[in-house]
Every structure is written in C-alpha cells, then in structure tokens.
Amino acid sequence: MNDKKPLMDYRRVQKLQTPLLLTGALLSGVGTSVSVPLVILGIAIMLFAIVIGVLYYRCPHCGRPLGRIGEGGAYCPHCGKALNAPVEEPVRSITVPAYAKLNLTLDILGKRDDGYHEMQMVMQTVSLHDDVTVTLTDGKGITCRVDGAALPCDERNLAVKAARAFCEAMDYGGGIDIALIKRIPSEAGMAGGSADAAAVLRALRELVSPTLTDERLEQISASVGSDVPFCIRGGTQLAEGRGEKLTVLKPAPRFFVAVCKPDFPISTPALFARVDGVTITDRPDTDAMLAAIERGDADTLCANVRNVFEQALEGEQRDCIEKIKHTLLLHGAKAAAMTGSGSVVFGLFSDETSCRAACDALQSGSIQTLCTEFV
C-alpha cells in the first residue's frame, strides 16, 4: 500500500483556492494605483487558483470533476463514493480462464494466392481451460512461467507474442508477467496456445485499457494466430478466411464432450500439404450446420459434424483416429470427429454419465481422456 499523499488533491484545492483568489484580487486591486507588475502578479495568482481547481478538484476515486468548490456534497456526483473514503489501489494482477475450442465442422475450400488456405469452420468453446495470470510489474519487458506443460517462455509461446502485440498496438511500455497453468492438451487441435494468447489480451485490456472493444482486441489478436480472434469471444462462431473472419452464432445445443488424446502429435503444416494432394469426398454441410444451430436442432447438428483433415491422415494415425471414433459411437456418442488438425478426437454426448463411461473405456497408456462440456 502506498501511504504517500499526492502533491495536490481536492482537499488541498478546497483549502487553497479561495485564499489564492482573494489574494490575487487584492494584489490586482492595489496594483492598479501602485504598480503594474503587482497587477500582473495578482492576475497570475488568480489564474493559478483557477488552474489547480480544474486540474485537481476531482473525485479521488473516479477522477472526474467535482464542480464548483463549495457547492458539492460529501459524495461524488458521478461514481457516488464518499469523497473521504479510502482510495483503493489499482488492480495490477488478474487471473482469467483460457477456454479450449472444438471444430464442429472444418472445411478447406482451397489454397489462396498468399499461401494460406481458405477455411470454413464452425467452432465451439468448451469448459476445459488453462488459467492465465497476468501481472503488471514495475520493470520492463515480458516474463512468462508455465506449469503443467513443457512449453517455451519466449516469443514462440503465443501468450508472450500476444502481450508483445498488445504493447505495440497500445503503446504500453510497462513490465508484464504471465503465469500459465496448463490443462488443455498441447498439439491437440484445441487451440490451447491461442486460448492462452486471447486470455492474455483480455487480461491486459482489463488492467490497462478497460474501454477497448472486442473488435479492436480481435484486430490486435489477428497478428498473433489464426484461432486467437475466435478465442477472444468464444461461444459458437463461424470462422472463415484463415479463421479471422468471424460470425457469432446462437449458442449451440448443450453437449457433454469426451476428449481423447492419442500419444502422437500431428504436424499441421504436413497435414495441410497432404490435404492439397487428396480428393475430399466427404465435406461438411456448413449451411446445414448453421441452420441446425439456429433452430437448436441437436440431431441435425450431430449429423453434420465433419473434419476434412481426417481424409488426409495416413497409416497408423488414420487407423487410431478411426478406432477412437468407432469406440465413442459404440458408447453412445451422437457424433465423433477429430478437432482442428488433431490429434484430439471428441465425441458428443447428451448426458455426462455416458460421456464419462466412454472416457473410462478409452483411457489407456496411449490415449488420455477427459470429460468437458459446451460453454
């Protein structure tokens, strides 16, 4: 707690302004018959009294003007707080959840001239999340710590990259410390890194610039990663382009989700390269999915869950993904698919008991499972 009093506040202004105005008026009046410099000094003192009133006669809590001295009450007319109440220290640290995502649909419409692929995806936030704590420090630069996963703590970590992008966009030069507690599987297609980056941006907005809009935050996030703009708002959204063109949808019908992570990663660049060379025979019907979400039609939603990346898988990876999907469906899943570029496979269940039973059936040394739900 900082016990140092400011050089000037509304109390000091109350005590000083009237005597200063009277002194200035007296000197100006006397100076008219004695000395011009005395008049100038009197006017300067009165101007000083007016300036300190404008600058410092303000609520110690919200900082807004209190009006004319002597006319106000004991409470701020703007925020309503008692003027003599202790001033709260500004918040310098905040912890926010970083929610994982699923791809209910994932379609690749073609390769663009800029080298990226034109995507069309319906994405959904789930309750599985990392915890991201952002603290403003007195130093300079960005520091990062990770608990729960072996991840880099430099610019290769999207959380650090997001903090850097925020500082550059908002011209913020203070120190930032980021602490991540990881629960979202890595290399899973669940946007764990993007979710952390979005959480850092939301936290920095709260700490540094609370009036910043979601739209502006999404603009900043687009330079960090393709999934980061979606993770800013979450929920149910249609993502197009590289994933940065977003349309917020009605909340999807609620499902419990069995998340199954095989013990192998899938290279996203390699998968994109392979998908360019295969003929996609089973594409998602995105329009049907959007209509189902609009109507709240859970059955039609499940019937249209698709991910074209599955058709680019090869060998043991493809066999493993298909086996997990088959087991989920046998245990009552309404739909099953890989999310993103994998390797997580998810199943949608109408009840938690069936979801957990499927997770128990698939849990092994080579497959890690957990139960989550739409949020």
CA distances from 13 to 4, 18, 56, 66, 238 (A): 18, 9, 7, 11, 55
Q: Residue 101 catalytic? A: yes
- Domain endpoint, select from 36, 61, 89: 89
Q: Are residues 11 and 79 in the same domain?
A: yes
* Averaged pLDDT for residues 27-40: 86
Q: Are residues 261 and 191 in the same domain?
A: no
Beta carbons within 10 angstroms of residue 55's beta carbon: 11
* Alpha-carbon span 28 to 38, nearest angstrom: 6
Beta carbons within 10 angstroms of residue 340's beta carbon: 24
* Averaged pLDDT for residues 103-129: 94
pLDDT in tens, 325-351: 999 999 999 999 999 999 999 999 999
User: At 154, is the secondary structure helix, strand, or coil?
Assistant: coil
Task: Tell me the Cα Rg of the chain.
Answer: 29
pLDDT in tens, 217-246: 999 999 999 899 999 999 999 999 988 899
Q: What residue numbers bound the domain in which 8 lies?
A: 1-89
Q: Are residues 85 and 100 in the same domain?
A: no
Query: What confidence score (pLDDT) does residue 7 get?
Result: 64
Query: What confidence score (pLDDT) does residue 119 get?
Result: 95
Largest CA distance in the chain: 104
- Domain endpoint, select from 226, 248, 270: 248
Report angle CA 83, 77, 58 to the nearest 5 degrees.
55
Given a cut of 50, is residue 198 above it in pLDDT? yes
pLDDT in tens, 243-273: 889 999 999 999 999 999 999 988 888 899 8
Given a cut of 50, is residue 1 above it in pLDDT? no
Query: What confidence score (pLDDT) does residue 6 get?
Result: 58
* Alpha-carbon span 254 to 348, nearest angstrom: 9
Highest mean pLDDT among 1-10, 29-38, 274-283, 327-336: 327-336
* Amino acid present at 50: I
Query: What confidence score (pLDDT) does residue 193 get?
Result: 95
pLDDT in tens, 308-319: 999 999 899 999
Q: Are residues 122 and 219 in the same domain?
A: yes
Kindly tell me the number of DSSP H helices and DSSP E strands found in the chain: 11, 11
Q: Are residues 103 and 242 in the same domain?
A: yes
Q: Are residues 131 and 210 in the same domain?
A: yes
Q: What is the DSSP string of 14-37?
A: HHHHHHHHHHHHHHHHHHHHH-HH
Query: What confidence score (pLDDT) does residue 255 get?
Result: 98
CATH of the domain at 148: 3.30.230.10
Q: In the predicted model, what is the mean pLDDT of the chain?
A: 92
Q: Are residues 80 and 142 in the same domain?
A: no
Query: What confidence score (pLDDT) does residue 33 get?
Result: 82
Domain count, the chain: 3
* Alpha-carbon span 26 to 29, nearest angstrom: 5
* Alpha-carbon span 93 to 60, nearest angstrom: 21
Q: At how many degrees (to 10) do helices 10-34 and 36-56 cross?
A: 160
Q: Are residues 113 and 211 in the same domain?
A: yes
Q: Are residues 266 and 345 in the same domain?
A: yes
Given a cut of 70, is residue 184 above it in pLDDT? yes
CATH of the domain at 338: 3.30.70.890
15 pLDDT band, cuts 50/70/90, is: confident
Q: Are residues 104 and 234 in the same domain?
A: yes
What are the residue ranges of helices labelled H in 82-191?
158-170
Given a cut of 50, is residue 210 above it in pLDDT? yes
* Alpha-carbon span 358 to 82, nearest angstrom: 57
2 pLDDT band, cuts 50/70/90, is: very low
Query: What confidence score (pLDDT) does residue 5 get?
Result: 54
Beta bridge partners of 164: none
Q: Residue 9 catalytic? A: no
Tokens of 128: 């599985």
121 pLDDT band, cuts 50/70/90, is: very high
- Domain endpoint, select from 33, 57, 89: 89
59 pLDDT band, cuts 50/70/90, is: confident
Percent of the chain past pLDDT 90, that is, above it, reads 67
Beta bridge partners of 237: 123, 248
pTM: predicted TM-score of the whole model, two decimal places: 0.77
Question: Among 107, 130, 196, 227, which one carries the catalytic annotation?
Answer: 227
Query: What confidence score (pLDDT) does residue 72 get?
Result: 66
